[in-house]
């Protein structure tokens, strides 16, 4: 009999395999369960492949979209509102990958390891976003049928107040776009595009200049309208008109390309690169799980190209949200609160879930540098664009008119912030092929801000 005792260990080997395998499964269950349940065949959450649970509201409690039990996605009845919110919520076919109904699926489902997909209230969850549908509507109307984007966020908290992208459409009736589509209607331009920035990029070049060039207060440049590099006449930087003798501050207010080309070369490629890296523009931001497209900026050792890089042309492509965050850092004297969009998650039975946004700040530039740029941005509005464009607002800004394709109208940009205790908002406006930033983009910005400060 005793002989069998050792031989029987062979049987225990199989028990061991079963136990070890079970633990492997438990590990996978714990780490991948949230993905498994999100599979559209899961009838606890989907009806006919559509999410059948959850409601998304804006910051004022206006219902943007709700998923009913039969798998119908019901949008707000106001066509203008639901169209304005298209890129925030997503459409019925989930064409927009950054749409909340798709990107925040796991949060709407309310899955957790312990109770699974069981909802104690029997109802789905409610996601409250930080966006304001009235401000968004104003932005959509201001953009009209032009292509572009408007984004506004609170630089003291990080809350995204407005994120509108155009072209847009009724989320309940998405158009079918063919493979060669160029409209980019399925793309949220604020988070997912990278576009030639033009002169708004001079804010970054300015920061590099302040950090690296001594005696900047005494620095001057005399603009003749053209600055040639090398021997060829073609290799030149131009301004629309000769600006004459420019100080650093005046050069930004007049957006003097020749002066900034020269400044870029004074700074040098290495230092400019360093500042760009520190600015966070080339990073991808994580907005509650939505990853922004990083900007791409190529510096060059070749003086002409380096000049154009500092002016925001050359191969520069900037993501609107990352630029907005950078401007937020200027407003916040160097530090910025990371942008977020989920304000709260609750179950419909009014039982508040312990959802808490974790505030995250990042230092993008030196405090003294930020203060100097603030001063120059205020000067831009006062001296160059005119305060009368922005009634009752103390605007700090920089316009951009980005050339992108010969023969096409330029992209019009305007980015900046307002100093208002109750409305500490930074904004960015892009109107593609809109023309001059100073005319087109500032008007859009004003319309949006006027609604925002009344809240």
The nearer residue to another protein, 42 or 265, going by C-beta atoms, is 42
Output the smallest distance, CB 352 to another protein, in A.
18
What's CA 173's distance to the chain center, in Å? Answer: 25
Q: Are strands 55-57 and 125-129 parallel, antiparallel or unpaired?
A: parallel
Output the smallest distance, CB 128 to another protein, in A.
24
Q: Please give the residue ranges that form the binding site for another protein (CB under 8 A).
A: 1-12, 14-15, 17-19, 21-22, 24-26, 28-29, 32-34, 36-37, 39, 41-45, 111-118, 120, 122
> Is 160 in contact with 58 (CB distance < 8 Å)?
no
Output the smallest distance, CB 47 to another protein, in A.
11
The nearer residue to another protein, 177 or 353, going by C-beta atoms, is 353
The nearer residue to another protein, 47 or 302, going by C-beta atoms, is 47
Output the smallest distance, CB 117 to another protein, in A.
4
The nearer residue to another protein, 113 or 226, going by C-beta atoms, is 113
Residue 301 tokens read as 């050792």
- CA distances to 100, 169, 199, 235 from 315, rounded to whole Å, are 32, 31, 13, 16
The nearer residue to another protein, 5 or 421, going by C-beta atoms, is 5
Output the smallest distance, CB 27 to another protein, in A.
11
Angle formed at CA 322 by CA 267 and CA 54, multiple of 5 degrees: 170
Closest CA to 350 of 123, 31, 133: 123
The residues that bridge with 150 in the sheet, in sequence order, are 164, 429
The residues that bridge with 73 in the sheet, in sequence order, are 67
Output the smallest distance, CB 197 to another protein, in A.
40
158 Rama sector, left if φ>0, alpha if ψ -120 to 50, beta otherwise: left
> Is 227 in contact with 236 (CB distance < 8 Å)?
yes
Output the smallest distance, CB 31 to another protein, in A.
11
Output the smallest distance, CB 358 to another protein, in A.
25
The nearer residue to another protein, 54 or 197, going by C-beta atoms, is 54
The nearer residue to another protein, 63 or 94, going by C-beta atoms, is 94
The nearer residue to another protein, 41 or 176, going by C-beta atoms, is 41
Positive or negative, the CA dihedral 354, 85, 134, 429 is: positive
**Alpha helix stretches (DSSP H) within 38-132:** 79-84, 86-89, 100-103, 105-109
Q: Residue 173 in 3-state DSSP?
A: coil
- Residue 11: Cβ within 10 Å count: 9
Q: Residue 396 in 3-state DSSP?
A: strand
The residues that bridge with 221 in the sheet, in sequence order, are 246
């Amino acid at each position: 009999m005793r002989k069998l005792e050792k031989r029987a260990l062979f049987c225990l080997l199989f028990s061991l395999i079963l136990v070890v395998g079970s633990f492997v499964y438990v590990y996978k269950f714990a780490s991948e369960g949230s993905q498994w349940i999100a599979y559209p065949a899961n009838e606890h959450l989907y009806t006919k492949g559509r999410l059948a649970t959850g409601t998304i509201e804006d910051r004022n409690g206006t219902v943007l979209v709700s998923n009913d039990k039969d798998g119908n996605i019901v949008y707000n009845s106001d066509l203008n509102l639901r169209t304005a919110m298209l890129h925030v919520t997503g459409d019925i076919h989930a064409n927009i990958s950054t749409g909340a109904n798709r990107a925040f699926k796991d949060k709407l489902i309310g899955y957790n390891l312990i109770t699974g997909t069981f909802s104690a209230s029997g109802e789905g969850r409610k996601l409250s976003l930080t966006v304001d549908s009235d401000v968004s509507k104003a932005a959509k109307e201001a953009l009209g049928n032009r292509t572009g984007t408007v984004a506004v966020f609170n630089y003291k908290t990080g809350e995204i107040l407005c994120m509108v992208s155009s072209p847009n459409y009724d989320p309940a009736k998405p158009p079918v776009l063919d493979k060669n589509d160029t409209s980019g209607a399925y793309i949220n331009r604020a988070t997912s595009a990278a576009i030639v920035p033009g002169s708004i990029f001079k804010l970054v070049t300015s920061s590099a200049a302040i950090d690296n060039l001594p005696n900047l207060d005494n620095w001057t440049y005399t603009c003749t309208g053209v600055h040639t590099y090398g021997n060829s006449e073609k290799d030149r930087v131009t301004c629309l008109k000769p600006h004459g003798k420019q100080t650093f501050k005046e050069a930004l207010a007049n957006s003097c390309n020749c002066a900034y080309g020269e400044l870029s070369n004074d700074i040098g490629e290495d230092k400019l690169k360093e500042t760009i890296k520190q600015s966070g523009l080339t990073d991808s931001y994580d907005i509650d799980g939505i990853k922004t497209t990083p900007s791409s900026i190529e510096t060059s050792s070749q003086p002409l190209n380096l000049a154009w890089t500092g002016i925001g042309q050359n191969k520069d492509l900037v993501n609107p949200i990352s630029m907005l965050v950078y401007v937020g850092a200027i407003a916040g004297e160097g530090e910025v609160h990371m942008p977020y969009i989920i304000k709260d998650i609750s179950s419909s039975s009014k039982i508040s879930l312990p959802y808490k946004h974790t505030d995250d700040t990042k230092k993008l530039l030196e405090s003294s540098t930020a203060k100097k740029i603030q001063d120059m941005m205020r000067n831009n509005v006062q001296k160059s664009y005119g305060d009368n464009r922005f009634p009752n607002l103390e605007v700090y800004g920089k316009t951009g008119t980005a050339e992108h394709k010969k023969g096409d109208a330029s992209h019009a940009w305007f980015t900046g912030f307002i100093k208002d205790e109750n409305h500490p908002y930074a904004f960015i406006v892009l109107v593609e092929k809109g023309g001059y930033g100073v005319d087109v983009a500032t008007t859009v910005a004003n319309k949006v801000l006027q609604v925002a400060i009344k809240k």
